[in-house]
Structure 1
Amino acid sequence: MKKLPESLQTFRSFQDFQIFVNRNEGEWRMPFEWHEPLEIFYVLSGRGKYYIENKVYLFEPGDLFIIGNHELHKSQLLNQEPFEALIIMFDPALANIVQLNDGLDPLALFYERTEDFSHQWKVDPSIRPKLQWCFDLMMEEYGRKEGYSLRTIGSLLQWLLLELKKGYGRNRRYNQIESWNGIHLKPVVQHAMEYINKCYCENINLSKLSSELRVNPSYLSREFKHNTGFSVIEFISFKRIWHAKEMLLYTDKPVTQIAYQVGFNNVTHFHWMFKKMIGVSPNRYRKLPKIFYNLKKY
């Protein structure tokens, strides 16, 4: 298995299952990411572009993607058109919560693939109501105040994966739409990203980072932007806000404490940056229903 940049790993505090609606608009961007849970991405509205490993896809409403747990990927806006997608993240073990000796592996789609495999399934309109029915039941169960049942979610997930297996079995092979060979980080950029990942909560900037890596600041700035699409400062802010989101979700720490803990020395600036990237204030984000917990608006 290839070694992936630890700095691009997301959903580190993940537990079992999540389902949420992700709306992206305006100046939203995201760096490449990878995560341990498996992902199902279903387009509800709008159009965009998806990069998964060395493949590129254009998507529209009704398109569905499955993404493995060690695949670098990112979605992006197309012509500034907003899009909305339903995201399901799940621990692979959850797909086998109900076991039968029928020889079927509900996770085969994620692991048994040919080189021309397409992550994208353009779901036939006649099948969409069935999938939406399953998504609605998952949303309802996941949103229960007393907590969701793993058996219920696992059973729905198994049904969904078997439907996806049928659909992908009739799916078209991958058709390249543009030249793309995947992400290839220069060593200096990867070292910079790993340093930021470890020290994001400290007072770091381009000058300090360049000094630590013993490279020219202008060179590092240029190569970082070229390789990642983000400036060094933007990437530092991304890491800080991402960790702040997780702390808002999984701890009861006050917002002020979180701001300082992730590296901001000015709480007002933290509030401004959080709202710019996420679309709502930290306090509002903490109170949102769980189906909106993982907005990624940057």
Structure 2
Amino acid sequence: MIDSAGFLMAGGQSVASERIQGVDDNMERSHYHEYYELYYLEYGNRYHMINEHIYSIQSGEFILFPPYVMHHSYGDSGVAFKRLLVYFTPDTILVPEIKLALENAPGVYRPEKKDSLIIHQLLKEILKEQENGDCYSKETMQMLLNQLLIKLARQSGEPIKPEQSSRISQILHYLHLNYNDNITLNDLAARFYISPYYLCREFKRYTNSTIIHYVNNLRIIQAQRLFQETDKTITDISREVGFSNVTHFNRIFKSLLGMSPSQSRKQGRPNLLPTRYSESTRPSLPEQNQ
């Protein structure tokens, strides 16, 4: 299943929406965007892996993914779901205080039923305007989005807790803190008192990614941030994010994003491709106390 809203964003749209329903339509691996994603679950139950944590959401609940946050979603085998999402760039947020509130707010929302219905209706109106496509649709979508974001910023309560921590989630947390170190499979396995074989197997089952691919993604995310926020050279940035030489950095960057670091920097924004989905069996929750 192809993420059509992602193609709209890649084509230069600042706000894009899409509704999808299905069974066993699970993401192959974690991904990230340079824009926000608001994921509203209209029906069913889904698991969302956000960085090193897993969250479970039910119908009427939603998640806001900020830019450059690794995430993917999946569901139990045979369980149908329907979701409505909207992507939007940071510059579409009209009120700076709202942007700050969203940056500091928990990403998982379980609103009261009346609030959930209002947010759902706003999301449906955004999708309707996109489908109409008249001369004022873009402006209307942005106005509706900001009305929705104000509603989100007013949400309060305790942060939603992730599912029970596991050894693999602890390993993911370690990688997010130490991605720029020289991380080897044997050292990582020894640190967490497990065999390299078990580590590789469980990491793949949990993330649908190899350890090196996951770490490389973390490094490239940080490199993109440094391109936008600093004037450091590409060589200096490649070393800062953990690559031993700039040639290797260039090769990994291009393999993941389809362009060189210098090309990406000249464009002024990353060239992240829209996510593709596969009907693969969802990754299992890691077993406890292994």
TM range (shorter): 0.5 to 0.7
CA 1:73–1:147: 2 relative to 1, 3 Å: farther
Structure 2: stretches of 5+ with no match in the other structure: 1-5, 186-196, 211-273, 280-290
Decide whether the 8 Å contact of 1:27 with 1:80 is kept in 2.
Answer: no
* Aligned mates of 1:92, 1:121 — CA distance in 2: 20
Q: Over aligned residues, Cα RMSD in angstroms?
A: 3.6
TM-score (norm 2): 0.55
Aligned residue number for residue 157 of structure 2: 171
Distance 1:297 1:85 in 2: 16
Report how many residues are paired. 189
- Secondary structure (helix, strand or coil) at the match of 1:107 reads helix
- The SS at the match of 1:128 is helix
* 1:83-110 CA-partner distances (Å, limit 9, x unpaired): 21111100111122xx6xxxx6222244
Indicate conservation of the 8 Å contact 1:25/1:297, yes or no.
no
3-state DSSP of counterpart to 1:160: helix
Q: Greater relative contact order: 1 or 2 (C-alpha under 8 angstroms, separation 6 or more)?
A: 2
TM-score normalised over the length of structure 1? 0.53
Letter in 2 for 1:174: I
Partner SS, residue 10 of structure 2: coil
Q: Deviations over 1:97-140 (max 9, x none)?
A: xx6xxxx6222244235xxxx32111211223322321222112
2:48 touches 2:55 (CA, 8 Å); kept in 1?
A: yes
Percent identity over the alignment is: 16
Report the counterpart of residue 107 of structure 1 in structure 2.
99
2:89 counterpart (88, 91, 96): 91
In the alignment, structure 1 segments of 5+ residues that lack a partner are: 1-9, 190-217, 232-292
Partner SS state of residue 30, structure 2 = coil
Distance 1:223 1:37 in 2: 30
Taking a change above 3 Å as real, the CA distance of residues 151 and 107 of structure 1, as seen in their structure-2 partners, is same
> Counterparts in 2 of 1:87-166, with a 5 A limit?
87-96=85-94, 105-113=97-105, 118-146=106-134, 149-166=137-154
CA distance in 1, matches of 2:134, 2:126: 15
Task: After TM superposition, list the pairs within 5 Å mapping 1:206-221 onto structure 2.
Answer: none
Change (3 A) 1:131 1:171: same
State the alpha-carbon separation in 2 of the partners of residues 17 and 135 from structure 1.
Answer: 12
Deviations 1:210-248 (A, max 9, x none): xxxxxxxx9xx97994674259xxxxxxxxxxxxxxxxx
